[in-house]
């Protein structure tokens, strides 16, 4: 079935209206639902992920220093014998 485009007429205002509605419904942070709670929830999740990565980094650093300390103690004792 072929569609005949010559018989349909779409005005510029109809096209423009569709584009404006689409532009208003999207921001750089994603589609907006018009609720400020959604942005606050996103901020809280973002801060929680930052805290998680910071804690993970501190734990890795602590373990790294602990292993270096143990290694230095054992290597010092073995070389001293």
| Sequence ranges of the domains in the chain | 5-80
Residue pLDDT, tens place only, 49-67:
999 999 999 999 999 999 9
pLDDT tier, 78 (very low <50, low <70, confident <90, very high otherwise): low
CB 25 within 8 A of CB 32: yes
Closest C-alpha to 70, from 78, 58, 80: 78
Is pLDDT at 2 greater than 60 in this prediction?
no
Distance, in Å, from the CA atom of 5 to the CA atom of 71, rounded to the nearest integer, reads 79
Residue pLDDT, tens place only, 6-41:
656 666 666 666 665 565 555 565 555 555 668 899
Is pLDDT at 1 greater than 50 in this prediction?
no
pLDDT of residue 42: 92
């Amino acid at each position: 079935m072929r569609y005949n485009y010559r018989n349909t007429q779409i005005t510029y205002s109809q096209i423009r209206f569709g584009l404006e509605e689409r532009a208003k419904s999207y921001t750089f942070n994603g589609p907006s639902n018009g609720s400020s709670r959604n942005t606050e929830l996103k901020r809280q999740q973002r801060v929680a992920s930052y805290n998680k990565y910071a804690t993970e980094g501190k734990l890795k650093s602590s373990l790294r220093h602990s292993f270096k300390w143990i290694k230095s103690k054992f290597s010092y004792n073995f070389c001293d014998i």
